[in-house]
Amino acid sequence: MQVREILRVKGSTLFTAMPGQPLADAIAAMAEHDVGSLVVMGGGKMVGMLTFREVIKATNARKGKIDSVTVEEVMVRDPVTVEPAMLVDDLRRLMIEKHSRYLPVMEGGVLQGVISFLDVAKAVLEEQSFENKMLKNYIRNWPDGEPAKG
């Protein structure tokens, strides 16, 4: 399975923030849309990522006083990105290696979407469930009514 297949099932809805936007507004958007990340857009392109990890760090460092903090101050600049053709097994390894729960998917410099660790887990679970059903059906319909031996 490739990243593009996960994006196709997930859909292409992107939630974004602007670099100069107050962090509190970005947090409100994350809560409203029930998402753990926002793509930070500037000049028509992705300039960073804001995830709940950066929000927690910024809130902790400022003892909860984030009224004057902007998204740009806490976002991840130049986040790790992946291509749609990447295999899911490679994606999982990369996410674990880079300690990233959210990865932007880029193709030819164009943002295609964001893949979360939850998206990956759902896709793998669905793929395994489908394969399990196919194998059970194959065994059930084995010629002569006898399951394969061997």
List the one residue out of 120, 126, 31, 37 whose CA is nearest residue 74. 37
Choice among 13-17, 24-28, 63-67, 146-150 with the minimum mean pLDDT = 146-150
| d(C-alpha 58, C-alpha 67), whole Å | 11
Encode pLDDT of 27-56 as tens digits. 999 999 999 999 999 998 999 999 999 999
Strands of the chain (E only): list them.
Answer: 16-17, 37-42, 45-51, 102-107, 110-116
Q: Considering Cα of 66, then 72, then 77, then 80, what sign does the dihedral take?
A: positive
Going by the DSSP 8-state scheme, the letter that residue 84 receives in this structure is T
- Arithmetic mean of pLDDT, 103-110: 93
pTM for the whole structure = 0.78
Encode pLDDT of 54-77 as tens digits. 999 999 999 999 999 999 999 999
Q: Which domains does the chain have, with CATH numbers?
A: 3-143 (3.10.580.10)
How many CA atoms, within 13 angstroms, populate the side-chain half-sphere of residue 97?
Answer: 7
